[in-house]
């Protein structure tokens, strides 16, 4: 279940079973969840980073009106709103951690692109008459991703765990639940981008959780759907 806190910039993710770290107010009692396993910490940080991304975009393209609610509308950055949502003074000191979680998501998706590069480079990327420029851009992005020296170390996750399969299934279920929650968003544009980012992050986890021996070129049967590829690139771009 996903609990939206009343504090701006905060999304709390609660597993279906009781968690000793969650008080009744829906806020994690451990600031960095250090007592949790690596896999659950990664999941919580990823969802927090996703929520932070949404808040940052709201602040970057903020709707302001002159002379009251019916005045002329203008869109643009709102530094005051950003400070309200992420300043330590207005978030009980947690705002900077939420921003770090955003960079954590960036590293996750960057690592997924690098890991899936051999597969993605085989795709045609048919979009329009400018297909070659698209393919060149994709190659340049994937080359840059593979050259990045500080990727997220996914090899430590699910390593030797007896409940690895169960945890992976939990991840899938939670992402599906979050995507369903996005269906309740009233704004069509917000709902579209929200679901796209959720699917993109889920696709990144799917790639990272797949052993290299099950990825191309070792395993030519590995497959990502068109929507998964599109959502991954768009989520990374957000």
Q: d(Cα 30, Cα 20) in Å, to the nearest integer?
A: 10
Q: What is the average pLDDT score of the chain?
A: 79
67, pLDDT greater than 80: no
pLDDT digits (tens, 9 = 90+) for 14-44: 434 444 444 444 444 445 555 577 777 888 8
224 exposure class (CB count in 10 Å sphere: 0-12, 13-18, 19+): middle
Q: How far is CA 167 from the centre of its chain?
A: 18
Lowest mean pLDDT among 18-27, 153-162, 169-178, 185-194: 18-27
Q: Can you give the pLDDT at residue 14?
A: 42
- The pLDDT tens digits for 181-228 are 888 877 787 788 888 888 999 999 889 888 877 777 777 778 899 999
Residue 13 has pLDDT above 60, yes or no: no
For residue 53, give the H/E element and its range.
Answer: helix 38-60
Instruction: Please give the radius of gyration of the chain, using alpha carbons only, rounded to the nearest integer.
Output: 19
The full DSSP string for 69-129 is TTS-EEEE--HHHHHHHH-TTTTTT-HHHHHHHHHHHHHHHHHHHHHTHHHHTT-----ST
Which residue, 144, 138, 120, is CA-closest to 226?
120
pLDDT number for residue 19: 46
Determine how many CB atoms are found less than 10 A away from the CB of residue 14.
16
> Does the pTM of the predicted model rise above 0.85?
no
Whether residue 217 is preceded by a cis peptide bond, meaning omega within 30 degrees of 0, is: yes
Identify the residue with better confidence: 31 or 144: 144
């Amino acid at each position: 279940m996903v609990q939206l806190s009343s504090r701006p910039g905060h999304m709390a993710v609660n597993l279906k079973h009781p968690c000793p770290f969650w008080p009744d107010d829906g806020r994690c009692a451990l600031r960095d969840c250090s007592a949790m396993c690596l896999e659950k910490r990664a999941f919580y940080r990823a969802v927090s980073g996703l929520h932070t991304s949404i808040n940052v975009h709201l602040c970057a393209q903020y709707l302001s009106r002159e002379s009251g609610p019916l005045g002329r509308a203008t869109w643009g950055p709102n530094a005051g709103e950003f400070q309200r949502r992420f300043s330590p003074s207005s978030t009980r000191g947690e705002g900077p951690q939420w921003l770090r979680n955003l960079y954590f998501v960036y590293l996750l998706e960057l690592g997924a692109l690098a890991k899936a590069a051999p597969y993605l480079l085989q795709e045609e990327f048919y979009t329009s008459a400018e297909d070659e420029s698209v393919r060149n851009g994709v190659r340049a992005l994937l080359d840059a991703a593979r050259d990045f020296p500080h990727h997220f170390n996914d090899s430590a996750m699910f390593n030797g765990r007896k409940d690895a399969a169960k945890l992976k299934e939990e991840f899938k279920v939670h992402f599906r639940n979050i995507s369903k929650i996005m269906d309740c968003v009233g704004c069509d544009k917000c709902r579209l981008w929200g679901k796209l980012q959720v699917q993109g992050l889920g696709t990144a986890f799917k790639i990272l959780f797949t052993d290299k021996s099950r990825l191309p070129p070792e395993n030519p049967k590995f497959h990502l759907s068109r929507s998964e590829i599109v959502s991954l690139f768009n989520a990374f771009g957000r």
